[in-house]
Amino acid sequence: MAKFKGVSPRGNSIQISFTWNDHRYRETLRWEPTPKNLKMANSLRQSVIYDIDRGVFDHVEYLKKFPSSSKAKSLVKSQADFLTIDVALWDWLKNKRSYIERSTLRDYTSAIKHHLSPRFGLLTVNQLKAKDVKEWLAKLSISNKRKNNVITPLRQCFKELYLDEVIEQNIMDRVPNLSVSSREPQPFTQDEIDLILITLSAQCTDNYRPLIEFAFYTGLRTSELIALHWSDIDFQNARMEVKRARVRGVTKEPKTSSGRRFVDLVPEAINALESQSMHKMLNIDEVFYKLEKSAVFKDDQYIRKAIWTPALKAAGIAYRSPYQTRHTYASQLLSKGANPLYVANQMGHADWGMIRKVYGKWISNL
């Protein structure tokens, strides 16, 4: 029978021994000491040694490798008495880095750096109380939606600490998300649409009418609009494929399978594309870009500040966000009797539940 260092039979079990932080640890595996099981025990021990050498072996990893170990459980419980929330949050974010979108990583980093660590960072994970979080949220002078976003890293971090048995209870389960009132859609009337487009047409140079007209008659999100390529357009079948979006300068695929979709092009949208084709450039794949700089849009900021807001002001129309072009598209289709499921597919929703909830009053047969 082969012998392995730190692995030895003990009656009907196998004992593994290793040194960590200058302490000797022994763990008993309830495995029959067969040659195959001894080899498996050695592989387990080698993985422990490897993690120790890399400096990544800790109380949580100890428990993961030896889930029945009373020693590991006692170490994990004691860890909660000295693990600070600051360390826990940054460790959690480090582990999540490769699994989340760059824009999400940026938001989480900001929430931890500017809100969570300054307020709770010095507390240990055992010291935080639900009451502390609720009182802090009540004093924050930001919207409820923003508050919910800010505590998301804390909520997810504590959930993992609980699942890893670092803490005995998850106090964040007693901190409900704050209610967020949904804003009523404020679609533009046809007269308002026409006035906005006429105002944009009156610009002597850098005419952005095609961009705004296309937004009104396709319902694309701005992130999808600025990432649209000419190769995505099928003029022959009067449709386009939405298969990417750009957020904060990063181009990515839609978050959901329903987000990647084909959208039918009505005559007004075709007209906008034909007008935009006059600005088509060989070195730019995007349909819409910054005309004066011959550069792609990184996000919606330039459109909102330099194009949209001045156009509404010049037209004498009360300000509404560019997202209302999407609401306008949906409400117009539904008012004309379009099938709600068809509208949902056009807009990238998995089903028509959202359409019913948001645009119910524009659906004639509800």
pLDDT digits (tens, 9 = 90+) for 170-222: 999 999 999 876 677 889 999 999 999 999 988 755 589 999 999 999 999 99
* Local structure of 140: helix, strand or coil: coil
* Residue 48 pLDDT > 80: yes
According to DSSP H, which parts of 8-69 are helical?
35-54, 59-65
Residue ending a domain, among 151, 174, 197, is 174
Residue ending a domain, among 157, 174, 191, is 174
Same domain assignment for residues 350 and 237:
yes
Same domain assignment for residues 278 and 357:
yes
Domain contains 209: no
Domain contains 62: yes
Domain contains 189: no
Same domain assignment for residues 94 and 62:
no
Same domain assignment for residues 162 and 291:
no
Confidence of residue 356 (pLDDT cuts 50, 70, 90): confident
pLDDT at 185: 85
Neighbours of 241 (CB within 10 A): 15
Q: How far apart are CA 277 and CA 295, in angstroms?
A: 16
Q: How far apart are CA 165 and CA 182, in angstroms?
A: 37
Identity at 359, one-letter amino acid code: Y
Domain contains 182: no
Domain contains 101: yes
CA atoms within 13 A on the CB side of 52: 16
CA dihedral 198, 202, 206, 208 (to 10 degrees): -10
Domain contains 13: yes
Same domain assignment for residues 91 and 149:
yes
Helix (H) or strand (E) holding 195: helix 190-201
Which token pair is 112?
């931890």
Same domain assignment for residues 232 and 167:
no
Same domain assignment for residues 222 and 351:
yes
Same domain assignment for residues 298 and 354:
yes
For every residue of 312-342, DSSP letters joined together read HHHHT-----TTHHHHHHHHHHHHTT--HHH
Residue ending a domain, among 117, 145, 174, is 174
Same domain assignment for residues 224 and 337:
yes
Q: State the CATH number of the domain containing residue 99.
A: 1.10.150.130
Q: How many domains does the chain have?
A: 3
pLDDT at 3: 83
Over range 271-291, report the average pLDDT.
91
Same domain assignment for residues 103 and 74:
no
pLDDT at 298: 92
- Report the relative pairing of strands 23-29 and 13-20 from DSSP bridges: antiparallel
Assessment of whether the complete model's pTM goes beyond 0.85? no
Q: Express each pLDDT in 109-153 by its tens digit.
A: 999 999 999 999 999 898 899 999 999 999 999 989 999 999 999
* Domain span at 352: 215-302+315-362
* Residue 242 pLDDT > 80: yes
Same domain assignment for residues 34 and 93:
no
